[in-house]
Amino acid sequence: MKTQHVLITILLSLFTLSTFAQYPTGGKSRGYDPDGGVRGQSHYDDDDDYGSDYRNSGSHIQLALLLDASGSMNGLIDQAKAQLWNMVNELTYAYEGHGYPTIEIAVYEYGKNELGSRSGYMRQVVPFTTEFDWVAEGLYSIHTGGNQEYCGEVISRATDELRWSRRRNTIKMIYIAGNETFTQGRVDYRRAIREATSQGITVHTVFCGPYRDGIYKYWQDAAELGGGMYTNINHNSYNRGDRYQQDPYLSSLNNRLNDTYIPYGTYGQKNYLRMQQQDRNASTYGQNNLAQRTITKASPAYHTEQWDLVSAVSSGQADLASIPDGQLPANMRGMSLAQKQQFVASKQQERNKLSQEIVQIGKQRSAAVQQQAPARSNSGEATMTLDQAIIQSSKQQMKNGGTVKIQQVPQAPAPTTTHSKPTSQQTQPAPAPRVITQPERIKYPSGTSTTGSRMNTPSTTNNKLPAPASGQKAPKIKYPGNR
Say what the pLDDT of residue 428 is.
40
The per-residue pLDDT for range 65-107, each reduced to its tens digit, is: 999 999 889 999 999 999 999 999 999 887 665 678 899 999 9
∠ CA 36-41-46 to the nearest 5 degrees? 145
Task: Answer yes or no: do 401 and 453 share one domain.
Answer: yes
Say what the pLDDT of residue 472 is.
43
The answer as to whether 22 is a domain residue is no
The answer as to whether 261 is a domain residue is yes
Tell me what percent of the residues of the chain surpass a pLDDT of 90. Answer: 54
The per-residue pLDDT for range 224-283, each reduced to its tens digit, is: 999 999 999 998 876 555 678 899 999 999 999 999 999 999 999 999 999 999 999 999
Say what the pLDDT of residue 4 is.
59
Task: Answer yes or no: do 166 and 204 share one domain.
Answer: yes
Q: Domain span at residue 135?
A: 27-239+383-463
Say what the pLDDT of residue 101 is.
87
Sheet holding 60-68, edge to edge: 122-129, 102-110, 60-68, 170-178, 202-208, 227-233
Residue 101 contacts by C-beta under 8 Å, 6 or more apart in sequence? 54, 58, 59, 60, 61, 91, 92, 94, 171, 301
Say what the pLDDT of residue 451 is.
26
Give the CATH number, domain containing residue 188.
Answer: 3.40.50.410
Say what the pLDDT of residue 467 is.
44
Domain count, the chain: 2
The answer as to whether 370 is a domain residue is yes
Q: What span, in angstroms and rounded, lies between the C-alpha atoms of 288 and 362?
A: 11
Q: What span, in angstroms and rounded, lies between the C-alpha atoms of 150 and 157?
A: 11
Q: Is 137 in contact with 170 (CB distance < 8 Å)?
A: no
The answer as to whether 397 is a domain residue is yes
Task: Answer yes or no: do 252 and 388 share one domain.
Answer: no
Q: Is 235 in contact with 75 (CB distance < 8 Å)?
A: yes
Task: Answer yes or no: do 203 and 85 share one domain.
Answer: yes
What's 406's DSSP letter? B
Residue ending a domain, choose from 351, 378, 405: 378
Calculate mean pLDDT across residues 395-402.
Answer: 74
∠ CA 12-18-19 to the nearest 5 degrees? 90
Task: Answer yes or no: do 393 and 354 share one domain.
Answer: no
Reported pTM: 0.74
pLDDT exceeds cutoff 80 at 312 = yes
Task: Answer yes or no: do 61 and 101 share one domain.
Answer: yes
pLDDT exceeds cutoff 50 at 432 = no
Q: Of 388, 451, 412, whose CA–CA distance to 83 is shortest?
A: 388
Task: Answer yes or no: do 234 and 89 share one domain.
Answer: yes
The answer as to whether 372 is a domain residue is yes
Say what the pLDDT of residue 11 is.
55
pLDDT exceeds cutoff 70 at 45 = no
Task: Answer yes or no: do 150 and 92 share one domain.
Answer: yes
Residue 401: pLDDT band (50, 70, 90) is: low
pLDDT exceeds cutoff 80 at 13 = no
Task: Answer yes or no: do 164 and 39 share one domain.
Answer: yes
Residue 163: pLDDT band (50, 70, 90) is: very high
Say what the pLDDT of residue 239 is.
57
List residues bridging with 61 in a β-sheet. 103, 171
Torsion of CA 43, 46, 51, 54, to 10 degrees: 50
Residue ending a domain, choose from 324, 353, 378: 378
Task: Answer yes or no: do 265 and 285 share one domain.
Answer: yes
**What's the whole-number average pLDDT of the chain?**
76
Across 9-114, the runs of DSSP E, i.e. the strands, are 60-68, 102-110
Task: Answer yes or no: do 274 and 182 share one domain.
Answer: no
Q: What span, in angstroms and rounded, lies between the C-alpha atoms of 407 and 437?
A: 9
How many residues are present in the chain? Answer: 483
The per-residue pLDDT for range 204-239, each reduced to its tens digit, is: 999 999 999 999 999 999 999 999 999 999 988 765
The answer as to whether 2 is a domain residue is no
Q: Who has greater pLDDT, 39 or 115?
A: 115
Task: Answer yes or no: do 440 and 395 share one domain.
Answer: yes
DSSP state string for 16-31: HHHHHHH-TT-SS---
Say what the pLDDT of residue 438 is.
34
pLDDT exceeds cutoff 60 at 188 = yes
The answer as to whether 305 is a domain residue is yes
Q: What span, in angstroms and rounded, lies between the C-alpha atoms of 294 and 85?
A: 9
Residue 158 contacts by C-beta under 8 Å, 6 or more apart in sequence? 64, 66, 106, 108, 124, 174, 196
The answer as to whether 468 is a domain residue is no
Residue ending a domain, choose from 325, 358, 378: 378
